[in-house]
Structure 1
Amino acid sequence: MEKDGRNSRKRIRSWYKACSRKKFWYSTSAEIIREYPLSGVGRVCNILGKQRQAYYKAENRTEKSEFKGELVLEEIEKIRQLQPRIGCVKLHHQLQDFLQSHKIKLGEKKLRGLLKKHGLLKPHRRKIAKTTYSGHGFRIYKNLVKDVKVTESEQVWVSDITASRRPM
């Protein structure tokens, strides 16, 4: 840390207030320890009002979750080799046996976040039926009501019969 202990404590506390939510204290303390390696885990935890064992417990928890994430990603790669376009919902359904056998709790939202983090989310396909096809070769009629001024209801009726479903 800096020579002046008060300055560094103020800086660390302001840093902690910026990330004062309960789950972010570990990442904040880890960042402080990386930036000030001589400060020591115990001193940083003391300033942040946490115990040293809580820091190491959180460190162990993040390592475990990263390891579990890697296991899940390997299984996803195996599934995607057989079904490359499989989406998140079906992928989560197929992973259930694997997750239970490895005692991993992973919901659909967490899986989606994991896939997004590693760039494995598949883009959504367009599900709207394409109904208009202008290159059909049939006669195209003039618009007879283009210049008509409508003054009352049901004066002009218009229909379109090109809404037949065609293959995508």
Structure 2
Amino acid sequence: MRKLSQSRHQYPVRPLCRLLGISVQGYYKHNDTSSELDILAASIVLFCMYVRENEHLPKSGCRELYELCRERFKDKFTIGRDKFYNILRSNGLMLRRTKYRPRTTYSGHGYRLYEDLINTAPKFKPVRNGPLVVCDITYVYTLEGFAYLSLVTDAYSRYIVGHCLSRTLGTEGPLNAINQAIDTYHRYGINISNMIHHSDRGIQYASKEYTKTLLSNNIRISMTQIGDPLHNALAERMNNTLKNGWLFNDGNLTFEQAQEAISKSIEMYNNARPHKALGMKTPMEILTGKSVNPLMNYKHN
């Protein structure tokens, strides 16, 4: 049709339509529609560039732009979402997702590094609650920037025995988490004497204050010897399970809201989520032998 339109000054439209086997009315209707779509597409591009100006909404996403265009052009906005995205894509207006992952482990410190007591031959595997906890720190997106979640997990029951969300990567977060873990074990009457604490070689876990807390509770210290995440695989899986399974890592919560959401998520993880590695029991069932699944309190109205 475009070539036919370009040739109409040289050749009559009607004979060309007969030659191509299309009606004159069909040609003009298509030509007018194409012109309208071209005008709409150009208008969309200009408007979206205006919206993305620095003083307006420079990081507005496709969904926001789509809704703004619907409001702007009203009845003239006759295209669907897919066509709209194609217009943005063909004009270089799709946002590039840059996934920055903050570094949570700094091992270039002067503190003592302990040997790995877990990744041995044969590999150490706990046969009850208490002989082994795995620990790690992961980042959480909040409205105020990155926050850092310290987790302490019982390796046998998969129960999260301690956690703490901190604004910084200091020792305070992991220290609060391990103290909470010690209190949890005491509350359930589980002996932790000679327990192994396994972590990476980060400065938080190697600091004097942290190691003093462990040693004063007769807890043995184990650290990965290389940067391979598989050497602390359970702790890494715990990070992913929580962050991918619950809605606190989208960057739309304040720090305090994220704290509350994480606490509720961990409560549900410990008490309500069946775990494949536990024979579809919950961590609480393995830790205490009792089922207190809060989801069973559901009543249909």
TM-score bucket (shorter structure): 0.5 to 0.7
Show the counterpart of 1:160: 135
Out of 56, 61, 71, the residue aligned to residue 97 of structure 1 is 71
Give yes or no for contact 1:130–1:165 (8 Å, CA) kept in 2. Answer: no
Q: 2:27 matched to which residue of 1?
A: 55
Question: What SS does the aligned partner of 1:163 have?
Answer: strand
SS of match in other structure, 2:96: coil
How does the TM-score come out when normalised to structure 2?
0.37
Q: CA deviation at 1:152?
A: 7.2
Distance 1:67 1:164, change over 3 A: closer
Does structure 2 conserve the Cα–Cα contact (< 8 Å) formed by 1:99 and 1:105? no
Tell me the distance in 1 between the aligned counterparts of 2:72 and 2:106.
49
2:127 is the alignment partner of 1:146: no
Residue aligning to 2:37: 65
Structure that is richer in helix per residue: 1
Aligned counterpart, 1:85? 59
The answer to whether the Cα contact below 8 Å between 1:45 and 1:51 also exists between their aligned partners in 2 is yes
Q: Distance in 1 between matches of 2:65 and 2:112?
A: 48
| 8 Å CA contact retained: 1:33, 1:39 | no
Given that 2:66 and 2:81 are in contact with CA atoms closer than 8 Å, whether structure 1 keeps it comes out as: yes
Hey, what's the Cα distance between the residues in 2 that align with 1:47 and 1:141?
A: 86
Alignment of 1:11-50 (within 5 A): 26=1, 30-31=2-3, 41-50=13-22
CA–CA separation in structure 1 for the residues paired with 2:107 and 2:15:
74
Q: Could you give the per-residue CA deviations for residues 87-121 of structure 1, whole angstroms, max 9, x where no partner exists?
A: 00011222232121x63223332221111011111
Tell me which residue corresponds to 1:12. none
User: Which amino acid in 2 is paired with 1:75?
Assistant: F
How far apart, in 1, do the equivalents of 2:23 and 2:139 lie? Answer: 69
How does the TM-score come out when normalised to structure 1? 0.60
Summarize the Cα distance change of 1:59–1:141 in structure 2 as closer, same or farther, 3 Å threshold: farther
Separation in 2, partners of 1:144, 1:153? 12
- Kindly indicate which of the two structures has a greater share of residues assigned to strand: 2
- How many percent of aligned residue pairs carry the same amino acid? 18
